[in-house]
Structures are given as structure tokens and as C-alpha cells.
Copies of this chain bind each other. A is one copy, B any other.
Amino acid sequence: MKKSFKILMLLSAFLLIALPASAKTIRWRMALSWPSNLTPLASPALEVAKWMKEMSHGKFIIRVEGSEKTKAALGVLDMVKSGSYQMGNSGSYYWIGKDPNTVWFTTVPWGMTTAEQYAWFYYGNGMKYMKKVYDKFGVYSFPAGNTGVQMGGWFRKEIKSVKDLKGLKMRIPGFAGKVMARLGVNVVNIPAGELYTSLDRGTIDALEWVGPAMDIKMGFYKVAPYYYTGWHEPASEMQFLVNKKAFNKLPKKYKVMLTTAMKAAAADMFIENFAKSVTAWQKMKKQYPNIKVKSFPIPVLKAMKKATDEVMNSYAQKNKLFKEIWTDYQAYLKKARVWTMMSEYYYLKASKEVGAGQ
């Protein structure tokens, strides 16, 4: 008896040491700024939840709640800040009302491409600034996937000169909207659900959305034949938000699982959006062969660039950190763009000239 009792004690002690950490299931909730079925935007959230469950052997469960459930698409930052949700999945530039410096972690007009921006995040000062800007909200922000260059929007009529922008009624939010307003555009805000009808009826003359993968679901190509190439959102990065206290409490292994999963999901989202844009564009173009892909005339593009600089300068004058980040961002963009042109741009140009990929 004595011996088996000793073994029993030893086993119990071993159990106490070996099991408690793995026995307790962690349950988190993640709030989304979009419906939980709106892929590719929602894909990273769904992937992270799935992988965390699998990697933790069911011990780390993240319940994904889309805007269809929370009814608070733009309340995500507050919900993660307060801790009522441990995670969020959103877009940093939704918070420019709280802090204009949140814009740097999504995209800015005439800014970096996806590769340039990731290089700035991880090898320039991007992540350092992201941490700084989000610190006051008590949350961490992480990249959550990029849309690549977004299209300049759907227009009912061709834009031939800067004059054609004057009085044009267009849905175009954020910094790009401020730029367009400077060029005389009548920038309007219309709920997503009413956009198609507004464009169809001519209540608005133009709108920007994302790119083929997302645009096809909205049907704009059926009612506005001019599809303009992009200038205003060259690399929109989505974001994961994580409540700092909740994250810091995690054992190391879960921290690494979560950051690894977020990084892999971000990479996946870029690919998904790219691939779905490829097929969506093919489908749209086949169904409506009269869609015309246009780039704005150079004088219009130059006016947009000038107005962009004015908008950025006006923020920089009011906000010291904005000025600091803008200076850093421009310096990085300048050296990164040299390499983009040497590599990707001249390859695409040469391919075009010799008919490769056509």
C-alpha cells in the first residue's frame, strides 16, 4: 500500500506540473469591420481562428464575429480597446478621426506599393510607428493582408481634363476624397447598399470601391463603363488588432502561434485578392465587353499629385508626428521605388514590348 500510495503521489505531482497550462482552454472573440463571409477581406480572420484552434489542439478558440453580428463595423477599435473583444480585423485608416496617423498603416495616395510598404514596415520604421500610434489605444496592430493597387473607380463618363472633375458627384472616402474635393469634385458619402442604384440613376457620377475581386459583387460594371486605373490606394493593408493586456498574458507559444498565423494569413489574403481579381475581371469583361479601362490623362494625374501634396502638408502642419512619419515614409519610398522600377517595372515593360504573357 505504501508503495502504490507513493506512486500515486508522484503521478499526481507530475500531472499538476504537466497539465494545467494545456488543460485550460483560452476563448477569445474577434470583431470584424465587414461581414464574416465577405472574402477576401474576412479570410485572414477565418484562417487565423481555424489555425489557432488546430495548432493549439483545441485549446485556443477564437470566435469570429462579423459586422452582421456586432452591427458595429466602425466600432472595432473601441471594442478591442475596451477588451470586450480580444481581437479585431479592420482597416487602420478607418480611425483617422481618432488619429490621422493611422492612415500610414493602410495606404496613402501616390504612396508605396505592397512590396515597398512591407519593406518599410519590417525593415524601415513602419512597424515602430504602428506600435507608437496604437499604443495609446491599449492595442497592438498587425498587418492583415493587402489589396494591392486599387482601381481609381467607376465613372459614367470619360474624364478628359481637370475641368471634367469640377462638380462631379463621386463617392470617394478618406484622404483620396480630400484630394478630389480640392479638384472641385463634389464628394458624397452614400451607404454601400445604395451605391449601385445611385450610380445607375445618375444620383452620383462616379465612385471608387476596391478592385475587380470586390467590385464584381457590387455590379458597378453594369452601369458605369469607364474603369480607371489607380492612384489613390496603391497598397491598402488591412489590420489585426489585439488587446495588449490579453496578448501579454498569453504563454510564449501562443504568442508565436498567433503572430505566425497572422503573418501567413496576411500573405494568403494578398494572393486571394489578386487571384480573384484576375478571374473577376475576366468575367466582367466577357459579360460587358464595352467596359473601358482608362488611365486619367497626365494633366489630371499631375493635378491629383499636387492636391495630394497639399492635403498631406496641411496635416503635417497641424500634427508633429504626421510630419515626422511623412518625412520618413517619403525617404523610404524614394529609395524603394528605384528598386521597384529596376526590377518589376522594367520587366513588365519589356514583357509588354516582346509580347510575353499576351
Q: Which residues of A approach B to under 8 Å, CB–CB?
A: 1, 4-5, 7-8, 11-12, 14-15, 18-19, 22-23, 51, 54-57, 110-113, 115-116, 118-119, 122-124, 148-151, 211-212, 229-231, 234, 251-253, 256-257, 260-261, 263-264, 266-268, 270-272, 274-279, 281-282, 293, 295-296, 298, 301-302, 304-305, 333-358
Beyond contacts A229-B342, A277-B343, A304-B354: 19 other A-B pairs, Cβ-Cβ < 8 A, are A1-B4, A51-B260, A56-B253, A57-B252, A110-B357, A113-B344, A113-B347, A119-B275, A123-B271, A150-B343, A212-B339, A229-B347, A230-B347, A231-B351, A260-B264, A264-B267, A266-B267, A298-B353, A305-B355
Give every chain B residue within 8 A of A256 (Cβ-Cβ).
51, 54-55
In the complex, what distance in Å separates the CA atom of A22 from the CA atom of B261? 21
| Residue of B whose beta carbon sits closest to that of A252 | B54
Q: A123 and B276: CB pair below 8 A? A: yes
Q: A4 and B8: CB pair below 8 A? A: yes
Give every chain B residue within 8 A of A234 (Cβ-Cβ).
347
| Secondary structure of the A contact surface, majority rule | helix
| Cβ of A264 to closest chain B Cβ, rounded Å | 4
Could you list 29 A-B pairs, sorted by A, with CB under 8 Å? A4-B4, A4-B5, A15-B15, A54-B253, A55-B256, A55-B257, A57-B252, A111-B357, A122-B268, A122-B271, A123-B272, A212-B339, A229-B350, A257-B257, A260-B260, A263-B264, A263-B267, A264-B264, A274-B339, A278-B338, A279-B335, A295-B346, A302-B353, A305-B355, A333-B357, A334-B358, A337-B357, A337-B358, A345-B352
In the complex, what distance in Å separates the CA atom of A23 from the CA atom of B18? 9
Q: Which of A56, A230, A351 has the most CB of B within 10 A?
A: A351
Give every chain B residue within 8 A of A337 (Cβ-Cβ).
351, 357-358
Give every chain B residue within 8 A of A22 (Cβ-Cβ).
18, 22
In the complex, what distance in Å separates the CA atom of A18 from the CA atom of B112? 50
Q: B253 and A57: CB pair below 8 A? A: yes
Total copies of the chain: 2
Taking a contact as CB atoms closer than 8 A, the residue among B14, B267, B342 that contacts A267 in the complex is: B267
Q: Which of A257, A282, A355 has the most CB of B within 10 A?
A: A257
Given A113-B344, A230-B343, A253-B55: A335 and B278 interface contact (C-beta under 8 Å): yes
In the complex, what distance in Å separates the CA atom of A263 from the CA atom of B23? 29
Give every chain B residue within 8 A of A111 (Cβ-Cβ).
357
Q: A354 and B118: CB pair below 8 A? A: no
Give every chain B residue within 8 A of A1 (Cβ-Cβ).
1, 4
Give every chain B residue within 8 A of A124 (Cβ-Cβ).
275
Q: Which of A116, A230, A263, A304 has the most CB of B within 10 A?
A: A263
Give every chain B residue within 8 A of A19 (Cβ-Cβ).
18
Give every chain B residue within 8 A of A356 (Cβ-Cβ).
110, 305
Taking a contact as CB atoms closer than 8 A, the residue among B57, B266, B281, B346 that contacts A339 in the complex is: B281
Give every chain B residue within 8 A of A282 (Cβ-Cβ).
335, 338
Q: Which of A270, A333, A346 has the most CB of B within 10 A?
A: A346
In the complex, what distance in Å separates the CA atom of A342 from the CA atom of B151? 8
Give every chain B residue within 8 A of A338 (Cβ-Cβ).
278, 281-282
In the complex, what distance in Å separates the CA atom of A122 from the CA atom of B270? 11
Q: B110 and A277: CB pair below 8 A? A: no
In the complex, what distance in Å separates the CA atom of A344 from the CA atom of B149? 6
